[in-house]
Chain A
């Protein structure tokens, strides 16, 4: 197969030990001729140090407002193969688990009808097929649904939720993140496929404070596993670790709440009432320590990247949510909470305002009051230091309220 375009700059990126995306684009071009023009255009971007994708034209499949991200070359005459080169977002299975059979079928559809080029996976979680022509979208959609895969979210809609591997292969998991993620995604198909929100909304489920999905930094609603009871200790295994490294230096001294102590006679002691479930000791001695058995989750709200008013981390909304119990009722309590949050956002939010920004604008106190939650000290790092308090009522002589 002869290459249409000369790519001396990109060829530099075929050197070196790390697998090369340039080789991957070339291999995709062997299967799909259109992808050859991508090499030409990216080479031109490398020469000119500027991007050559256009901001232009909404595309999608019938009945869906999201799932496809339109992409058009701004040099369509020169690179006709990528005149239209849209992204198809395919909702991943929870935990990114696959069998070889189903993976082959997924990529076969991309070979037959598009560019043969994929992201495994996009940062939101979807499998992304990069490079589909508008005319092929309906066929691609139908092939994927026949295979049992649906489109993910894009635009001002619920974005594809994602989760950590959780109970499938992690002993730190405090709740079944894969089950929760799958169930919640199934429950909100309409919100995902038909954008009606002010802006995007993301869920991420991590089953412990290590937060492998980075939910605290990039989900409007972060659900992070925690536990209520005591850390399970295998004292014999603790002793084994004490032989391998300085337990004080690497474990107890680093406990952020200083709630642990260790000596050879008494073994490891933990004041669990003072443990903030940070995971440090468990990470360091996974054979000796396990989270407690009364698992649940902390729900946090509002993190986002810088657009529009600066980056935010998620803040505590519900300190302990008994998610395993709620799972028995098909997450009814959680779905109700989400509906209340979305109603508030719908009523008070403005276009392109993420929930975290709205809460910042109206005040967390007003927000939690509106969705029916109580203010709790767990929500703040400390009470306010600023005395500009908006007291909402005062009394007048005679007992009347103002």
Chain B
């Protein structure tokens, strides 16, 4: 271990042992849970083989939070759950209680902090999202702002269970899809639509030319020279606006206020229940960025949710509902236009064509 200013540095200790943070009831019943029951969209109980119970109260968070927000949660945990809490993969907070009588006062205090309690069962789950304009350099749209606008509108769907089954929405602000949005019931994805601009002075000085050329999925970045130095040129027609080149080479900025925006994808899932995991499919190819509240995006998502709520059988995920009624009907009931862009013409895309005469006529 290296010494820095006389202090012995601790390195490579890895993650803190989770056993130090487990509620005693969880420690005692680790691996011995028998069943759970959803008591409301904001709380559930897990019962162990010994009959022990742990209550979970779930609360939504915006993911981007201040230290003060975390300290508010800590105060609630101290008051009601013996200081024990956890987070979910979808950025919810869960308080773990062994006393049923603490649920109500906890929920009251959560309400006083203006935090939403919910997210369990047949709800719109908290939207997983990425950094956007708040903290990333390739963003084609903001993440937090779109998500906040959506969740304000879908609030009732988070706190009350009123959908055929759970709907998972995700947002990513560029094709990197940090949140792996490509397998969500509804995915909102930031997209660029104009090829990167080449800034030759930056390219020759800042970029490694072979990696820049290799970064392009459609091979439209080709070698060139600029003032006698190795550089690149671009065949604009083949660009799919992925922004990968900008990540590798700061001389090829792709963000463009007039052409950046979002697309909407539907019907993906990751769970293996019933049907296999599936990618989300394109529903709306482009909506312009419309800050601060992105009303057209909110409207499109609501259109999908309303049609789904009306048309789906109980227990059917968005993708299963669409498979049952067929894609033509999906476009009919949502009113979205079906365009050339909906037909996959990228590598392996032929797999998405209909090779049968099975058509719901």
Contacts and interface: CB of A to CB of B under 8 A. Distances in A.
A63 B256 CA distance: 38
B65 A24 contact: yes
Interface residues of B, number: 117
A263 interface: no
B104 interface: no
Contacts of B116: 17-19
Contacts of B77: 99-100
A97 B18 contact: yes
Interface residues of A, number: 128
B87 A93 contact: no
A214 interface: yes
A150 interface: yes
Interface in B7-34: 7, 9-18, 20-22, 26, 30-31, 33-34
Interface string A131-146: 0000000100010011
B95 to A, nearest CB: 10
B63 to A, nearest CB: 6
B180 A123 contact: yes
A19 B244 contact: no
Contacts of A170: 33, 36, 46
Contacts of A19: 60-62, 114-116
B155 A18 contact: yes
A266 B242 CA distance: 57
B134 interface: yes
A186 interface: yes
A308 B217 contact: yes
B60 A18 contact: yes
A157 B144 CA distance: 27
A145 B255 contact: no
A215 to B, nearest CB: 8
Contacts of B7: 142
A313 interface: yes
Contacts of A107: 67, 70-71
A98 B180 CA distance: 26
B304 interface: no
Interface string B113-144: 01110000000000010101111111100101
Closest 6 CB pairs of A and B: A16-B152, A218-B180, A209-B272, A100-B74, A107-B67, A18-B151
Interface of B: 2, 4, 7, 9-18, 20-22, 26, 30-31, 33-37, 46, 54, 56, 60-71, 73-75, 77-78, 83-89, 91, 93, 96, 114-116, 128, 130, 132-139, 142, 144-145, 148-149, 151-152, 155, 158, 175-180, 182-183, 211, 214-217, 242, 244, 246-248, 250, 255-257, 260, 268, 270-275, 277, 279, 289, 291-293, 314-315, 346-348
